[in-house]
Chain A
């Protein structure tokens, strides 16, 4: 099946997300859509999938124009999609999720036996080991993604769109996904692979289309140089290899021992975590999303109930104190989910910049606020952090995701800190700004502040870390030096201990990711 998008335009208000985009997907190819966060890739695919109505342009299948009024139409036309945020009902079983919308029935009842058979049959084809009766919420993220793939294939998708599928995977799982993609292509399914990761694009694509600011800026061959791809994607020369000075760690600043968090159902979400952070060093917490990182940072900030164990910062115990007291102790915090936990969307940029200090001099007192100080502060920080906005008085919700993240980072770094905890400090930020934010974090480290970075992006971890703690299912599997081999880290993220991972890598377990990283065009 040949799929063609012709001059697709989609606007949200005054913002043009897609500007006359042309794209042709030939049968049986892996076509990568490369672009930065916010370049318009996902918007384009949601138009293709019938979730958004385009403002202009048309979609052609085998040269016949088609109109999709909803995802049902797109599916009927043979387009399947694996969404970045999985479209699975957590309380349903794997089989129920797979057949939802095209359920087999027998005598008016659901034919669950047939649904199980369908799951088993497709799983077997790709060597998955999915239990049709397992609840989706109990599955690891990688397995949930495989459920999504099975779901799309069970609808006889001829074009499969994968939207940032590797964001939640370990490097080894990414390799496996690539094998599945190749297998699918060899069976005749076309694949649209949406990503911002250059190495993955090079590893698996047949063709590459690069999108920047809603426009197609070029196509490339997978043999293209990574640096060329990067400059095409970003629009200027970039050098991501951050030359950072070696850390000069001082005395131990934060001492966490046997920290445990139990949720309402009695599940240990954080299970006996112990580590130290020294002054002037960056400890990066790596791991696949949902392995206890959120609980760790929130426990340190006093945002979790049922915390046991101890966390001593400069001699003062943090566990058991209120969040306000902890913030007063000089901890800068960047929450992982900026829209939910970090910003008040309808407040202005200036107000959001003083959210943690609004009742302190010079911004205010117990009774009143000082608008002049708030405004001056905002003008300074907006300039320093290059926050793109017409005025600091605009609501923060009018900013792009990357600029919102800069506001959060600017706020966290805007005072004398005794500890900086930053979760996903550059999520959704464009490549140029990532570099800038990384330098600010390292600058804070060089001032002697202890820094904890939580990131699921291995690139970010290896660039910033002086030491790396890998988390897996609520525990820290090991703390390794910052220059540890990516493959070792990848295996640790999948549950290997440091020694086992080193052994496996020594005996030749290498991933495409690390092999391409070794080529060294881009760190």
Chain B
């Protein structure tokens, strides 16, 4: 009897019989990287401009650069450098071929490292080619990356907040737009940019209230509500822009800008100093909110309950957690956060409100949330990735007009962030674990 008792009360974790066999789709990844690598080798390297050189600006004169450890700029022959980098990328995909074709499964850590090496080498190869005969300041590129990441990151965090609680948030676009609108309008009316900063989340919360009302209160299909709200946001802000703001821009829509808070010394670190320590308050808030939200979601009572509501609302209900109020408050909180992102578009960059100025950033933020696996830190990293593509696009767009070198049509470059988003999301979708009750309204009997 003793033997039977032991086996029957086996509380140990079930060891799943994981098959150590390469999946039938093993060749997709190496093939994709090889094609991209070969294209890179041909276009960036072999068809580059012979004799041209590319210059990367590294350190600035005033930077802290003891004994000149970092050179002020690095100049490389464009063709040779692009070829070398493309070959490195191809070596990484060759390694992927070799490792993925083995009968065993490749460990994700190794695979991701190789993909990372490939991506960095490929992007550098592209950049080296495209700045032939010109120079590119890396510090400025990174600084604008961080600035461009702010709306995306805040938007993605809005998504994380509401989807972790089980409400699909397609309305990020509208929330950003409302935030931008509110910041410009209130800041302008009161003549105080700080008032605009406070107003942005409050105005964006209106958007969240509508989302929560329909998605949680009336249990309307959540994707449809989100899309409709985005259209509504464009419509109503454009109406006010066209009627009130255009009539008296001085009073209702004057460009204002949050002051840049420069942290002495730190801001003088080469490459990253200006990106990290010479920004306005919204950028610093972004770092803080990511940290606070990560701790709150995964280390506090509130976070445990929010995640329970998003994963298994009925289980949460049976232990006395109020499911729909939790969803309401998370959607509202998320909208407020997205509103801050919207503020970056107007008062953060010192421009007046413009019609449909969020221009799809909300959807990119949604992609960042998915790529970031519904985790604040992941969302931030994804937002930075997309923002890097955007920042590069802006830099290259201004270059194309210049004399000589490589010229890529500006409209083509505008695609860049979206292409990156498409590839990135396509690569992870299916491997991301969505909160189990995401998008399913909770109804009590």
Which residues of A are in contact with B by a Cβ distance under 8 Å? 46, 49, 51-52, 70-73, 75-76, 81, 83, 86-92, 96-97, 100-103, 105, 108-110, 127-131, 134-135, 138-140, 142-143, 146, 151, 170, 172-173, 175-176, 262, 264-268, 271, 306, 473-474, 491, 494-496, 504, 508-509
Closest to B312 in A: A89
B308 & A92 in contact (Cβ 8 Å cutoff): yes
Q: Which of A51, A264, A494 is the one whose CB lies under 8 Å from B445?
A: A51
A262 & B19 in contact (Cβ 8 Å cutoff): yes
CA gap between A90 and B315 in the complex, in Å? 10
B19 & A75 in contact (Cβ 8 Å cutoff): no
Q: Given the known A-B contacts A89-B312, A109-B299, A268-B19, are A129 and B9 also in contact in the complex, defined by CB atoms under 8 Å?
A: yes
Contact with A along B288-313 (1 / 0, CB 8 A): 00000001000111011101100110
Q: Which of B17, B18, B319 is the one whose CB lies under 8 Å from A473?
A: B17
B11 & A51 in contact (Cβ 8 Å cutoff): no
A491 proximity list for chain B (CB < 8 A): 4
A100 & B14 in contact (Cβ 8 Å cutoff): no
A176 & B8 in contact (Cβ 8 Å cutoff): yes
A264 proximity list for chain B (CB < 8 A): 430
CA gap between A494 and B13 in the complex, in Å? 15
CA gap between A268 and B436 in the complex, in Å? 23
Q: Given the known A-B contacts A52-B445, A103-B304, A268-B18, are A81 and B433 also in contact in the complex, defined by CB atoms under 8 Å?
A: no
Task: Enumerate B1-55 residues with CB–CB distance to A below 8 Å.
Answer: 1, 3-5, 7-14, 16-21, 23-24
CA gap between A267 and B430 in the complex, in Å? 16
A-B contact pairs, 16 of them (CB 8 A): A70-B322, A71-B317, A72-B319, A89-B307, A89-B311, A89-B316, A91-B311, A92-B311, A140-B14, A143-B11, A172-B8, A176-B5, A266-B23, A268-B19, A474-B17, A491-B4
Q: Which of B7, B13, B320 is the one whose CB lies under 8 Å from A139?
A: B13
Chain B nearest Cβ from A179, distance in angstroms: 10
Task: Given A101-B320, A262-B21, output 4 extra A-B contacts at Cβ < 8 Å.
Answer: A72-B320, A170-B8, A491-B4, A496-B7
Which residues of B are in contact with A by a Cβ distance under 8 Å? 1, 3-5, 7-14, 16-21, 23-24, 105, 295, 299-301, 303-305, 307-308, 311-312, 314-322, 430, 433, 436, 444-445
B300 proximity list for chain A (CB < 8 A): 105, 108-110
Q: Tell me whether chain A's interface is mostly helix, strand or loop, or mixed.
A: loop
A81 & B318 in contact (Cβ 8 Å cutoff): yes
Closest to A267 in B: B16
A268 proximity list for chain B (CB < 8 A): 16-19
B314 & A87 in contact (Cβ 8 Å cutoff): yes
CA gap between A100 and B311 in the complex, in Å? 13
Q: Which of A72, A134, A267 is the one whose CB lies under 8 Å from B19?
A: A267
Q: Given the known A-B contacts A131-B11, A265-B18, are A51 and B311 also in contact in the complex, defined by CB atoms under 8 Å?
A: no
A173 proximity list for chain B (CB < 8 A): 8-9
CA gap between A97 and B444 in the complex, in Å? 21
Chain B nearest Cβ from A122, distance in angstroms: 13
Q: Tell me whether chain B's interface is mostly helix, strand or loop, or mixed.
A: loop
A265 proximity list for chain B (CB < 8 A): 18
A100 & B304 in contact (Cβ 8 Å cutoff): yes
B105 proximity list for chain A (CB < 8 A): 266
Q: Which of A100, A127, A139, A504 is the one whose CB lies under 8 Å from B4?
A: A504
B308 proximity list for chain A (CB < 8 A): 89, 92, 100
A102 proximity list for chain B (CB < 8 A): 319
CA gap between A96 and B303 in the complex, in Å? 11
B319 & A100 in contact (Cβ 8 Å cutoff): yes
Chain A nearest Cβ from B355, distance in angstroms: 43
6 A-B pairs with the lowest CB-CB distances in the bound complex, closest first: A72-B320, A101-B319, A87-B315, A172-B8, A268-B17, A129-B11
B445 & A508 in contact (Cβ 8 Å cutoff): no
A306 proximity list for chain B (CB < 8 A): 24
Q: Given the known A-B contacts A92-B308, A100-B308, A176-B8, are A139 and B14 also in contact in the complex, defined by CB atoms under 8 Å?
A: yes
CA gap between A197 and B10 in the complex, in Å? 24
B445 proximity list for chain A (CB < 8 A): 46, 51-52
A139 proximity list for chain B (CB < 8 A): 11, 13-14
Q: Given the known A-B contacts A51-B445, A71-B318, A87-B318, are A267 and B17 also in contact in the complex, defined by CB atoms under 8 Å?
A: yes
Q: Given the known A-B contacts A87-B314, A129-B12, are A504 and B21 also in contact in the complex, defined by CB atoms under 8 Å?
A: no
B322 proximity list for chain A (CB < 8 A): 70
B12 proximity list for chain A (CB < 8 A): 129, 131, 143
Chain B nearest Cβ from A16, distance in angstroms: 15
A130 proximity list for chain B (CB < 8 A): 11
CA gap between A200 and B13 in the complex, in Å? 28
Chain A nearest Cβ from B5, distance in angstroms: 7
A76 proximity list for chain B (CB < 8 A): 320
B301 & A110 in contact (Cβ 8 Å cutoff): yes
A473 proximity list for chain B (CB < 8 A): 14, 17
A128 & B9 in contact (Cβ 8 Å cutoff): yes
